[in-house]
Chains A and B, each alone.
Chain A
């Protein structure tokens, strides 16, 4: 257990203490107890920069299930560290923000912070695990904790719907990924990510390669809300805003990005990977930004914007993977896409985090997030307005904010796709810059809608629940810090390039580096009058034009019918599954106990018979049998005849007497077979049983057998004969196949020595197998309690009738 393990597990450990802290320090907001943890962890992870900037890694391993190759091994490299810093850094800011956002009087703070800590620990586990199974476990934990957080306001129907949707989609992806992990294990024989990367050549040439790749991508795409799985993200906005800011902008949705980046060295040598990641990414980019424009809820705009931005990072990673094919190029001509991806990942976390917090402030101070009701808030909330301007302009790609820099690099990366000559990119590659550019126009457009529809225009006080005013200072601290980072990274981007971006790229494209080398990243603002600059100018001009004429062309959103939307498909599919499974269940679960008994008995016959045939177990051996005496035959006959006569007995009394006859004959058999204790017990029990039967006899109705149809009887007879035959066969075979000596000799030898008793059966019961007897008494006790309760029970329905 190293310090690193402790750091990863510390959120989970703190979660254990939260209920206690919440209960005993009622007057302190629970969030304050949380805040130090991510802050300290952030500091702790920062010191690793000095390690990773030289391309080194830290590896700590803790044996877990070593026999299966599953060890709790953690690895810090450039990529993992970048994510760990995001998780803890944004985590600290979000916790601070939530302290002012969630009121301790109204909300169940203890559960909220437990879920949040679970999530934080799970995320750290995902990004730092070097073992795929461990990674998967943490991955699913993020799905579960996200489910709990989205459904936090569980009194709201929409929250529950959103939580279920995200759960179903991400867990589906998670299971696919598990399949991928197992296939990968079949190929490589290891769960270690580092070892898998070292074997990437074998992986690519394996026949299972494509299946593995697709399963992994399903995991990544569902988590990162890529088209067509993006539908869960907008519904996840039902979560409290701090959650949205944390999970759905900065961390959880980026787990998919992380997975793609992490697995790039393994899969990137194939065209399928490049095309799928880049293609799906660019489609998501466009569809997200296009859909964001029509939203009226501020959080919905941000949700679709997040979908779109994730698509952008994804497509950049896909294109960056193609750079691996030009292994010798050191000038970073194609690698720029990966630089852009990593850089934008950081930028997106900063500006989107701050925008979510701004949305939370607007919601908190006005009571609505609907842009049709908002407007003219500029004068009431100047600081929030400034923050919103910084966030949206960065998102739109306007200088001097950091979004501009990564957007420029994004254009560069996209333009260079068209110059590639592999995987038929020379013909289709041109689509990438075209789609990317048009998506950017919509990105610009919704950014403008977000900020100007809210803060400028007409102030409509009659539509707002509260009189708007500036947020309390505590709520502003976190977004102000994020917005300052937006500006700092925008003006001095190179504080990041050597410390964070270059090591992260080293983890994504390790094969391009020789030992001791690192990527030389330098981000600059001015590239001369390049095509990228004109593309940005075009985006701004066209975007402003579309913004001005917004009301004239939004009709195109109504062309696409609601019936064909993915959400409709999801809802319909879910309902269909429910109905279908209910119908299928109904066909065999019909409520008749007889039907179930028929299933059980048929299955018994089937499974025993096939096993006997398959194992060739049937054997008949007459040599080793006990002698038969005349009166024994008589007893057998009595028993068989009584048992069979019960079937035809017309009256209850006859059946009960016959059952008694069978029981007493069993007792006689026990005498013959030298089991005196059994005989005594059987006699006593049989007497009591018959008495009980006779007692119930007065109260139960006459047996009516004429109700039963012939076919019914025939099935019963068939099954009964089957059961009887199979049991006889088993009894014969078990007698004839003696494969090993009985273990009973131990008891014969030790009964007196160890337990001091002479009656072996008694000693076994009360001594050797004493616990069995104790539980037997317990069972009898439970039965007695049940009987007592049933006799006392009087149904209310009966009382009303009286």
Chain B
């Protein structure tokens, strides 16, 4: 399962990178979304998969899966949501004000360095 997940994570990172390198702002945002999915799965996979019960003491199991990556991912999900929301509004407002979402045209003027 871990091997399979590793390949899937690779695919997620690849598509995310490709989208982020494109010129359209919307595609870049979608790219960051995919990137965070990939990162979350990577964290989870690194902590080994399915080695025990869900990390709830009420389960009274012999072994539990690693709770630490889960805590990390929970934080990361929320943060990436914040970033995505921020990005989207940024793109929306930039388009409204400047009339484009093409990154090449959003460079700023010459001399504004």
Contact = CB atoms under 8 A, between A and B. Distances in A.
A592 B24 CA distance: 12
Interface string A661-684: 011001001101111111001100
Contacts of A639: 8, 12
A123 to B, nearest CB: 40
Given A662-B34, A673-B49, A760 B103 contact: no
A769 B1 contact: no
Interface string B1-39: 111111111111111011111111111001001100110
Contacts of B53: 674
Interface in A522-577: none
Interface residues of B, number: 86
Given A669-B41, A720-B21, A728 B84 contact: no
Contacts of B45: 731, 735
B91 A776 contact: no
B1 A627 contact: yes
Contacts of B74: 677-678, 681, 761, 765
Contact of A703 (B11, B27, B88): B27
Contacts of B49: 626, 673
Contacts, number: 268
Nearest to B25: A700
Contacts of B52: 674
A692 B29 CA distance: 12
B85 A783 contact: yes
Interface in A634-660: 636, 639-640, 643-644, 646-647, 652, 655-656, 659
Contact of B30 (A591, A659, A676): A659
Q: Quick one: which of B47, B52, B77 has the most chain A CB within 10 A?
A: B77
A201 interface: no
Given A632-B1, A728-B7, A676 B54 contact: yes
A700 B17 contact: no
B92 A779 contact: no
A603 to B, nearest CB: 13
Nearest to B33: A659
Interface string B38-65: 1011101111111111111110000011
A731 to B, nearest CB: 4
Contacts of B85: 689, 692, 783, 787
Interface in A747-802: 747-748, 751-752, 758-761, 764-765, 769, 772-773, 776, 779-780, 783-784, 786-787, 790-791, 793, 795, 798
A742 interface: yes
A3 interface: no
A761 B66 CA distance: 9
Given A626-B1, A744-B66, A786-B86, A724 B17 contact: yes
A723 B2 contact: no
A304 B81 CA distance: 67
Contacts of A758: 56-58
Interface stretch (A94-102, A160-168, A487-495, A593-601): A593-601
A742 B13 CA distance: 26
B15 A723 contact: no
B24 to A, nearest CB: 5
A628 B4 contact: yes
A516 interface: no
B29 to A, nearest CB: 8
Given A626-B51, A720-B15, A776 B24 contact: no
A734 B7 CA distance: 13
Q: Quick one: which of A589, A704, A724, A765 has the most chain B CB within 10 A?
A: A724
A670 B55 CA distance: 12
A742 B88 contact: no
B4 A633 contact: yes
Contact of A692 (B8, B73, B88): B88
A68 interface: no
A108 B90 CA distance: 45
Interface string A326-345: 00000000000000000000
A700 B92 contact: yes
B46 A731 contact: yes
Contacts of B1: 625-628, 632
B13 to A, nearest CB: 4
A640 to B, nearest CB: 5
A676 B65 CA distance: 12
A625 B3 contact: yes
A725 interface: yes
Contact of A787 (B46, B86, B100): B86
A724 B17 CA distance: 8
A652 B95 CA distance: 15
B30 A675 contact: no
Contacts of A276: none
Contacts of A593: 103, 106
A26 interface: no
Q: Quick one: which of A662, A723, A776 has the most chain B CB within 10 A?
A: A723
B78 A776 contact: yes
Given A647-B19, A727-B10, A764-B71, A675 B65 contact: yes
B14 A720 contact: yes
B67 A776 contact: no
Contacts of B51: 626
B26 A716 contact: no
A734 B21 contact: no
A20 interface: no
Given A626-B2, A720-B14, A772-B75, A748 B67 contact: yes
Given A692-B85, A715-B21, 10 more contacts: A625-B3, A640-B8, A646-B30, A674-B65, A724-B14, A731-B46, A732-B3, A758-B56, A760-B71, A783-B86
23 contacts: A594-B103, A632-B1, A632-B4, A647-B19, A672-B50, A674-B54, A688-B81, A705-B24, A721-B14, A723-B17, A728-B10, A734-B46, A735-B48, A747-B67, A748-B64, A751-B57, A758-B58, A761-B55, A765-B74, A769-B71, A773-B75, A780-B79, A783-B85
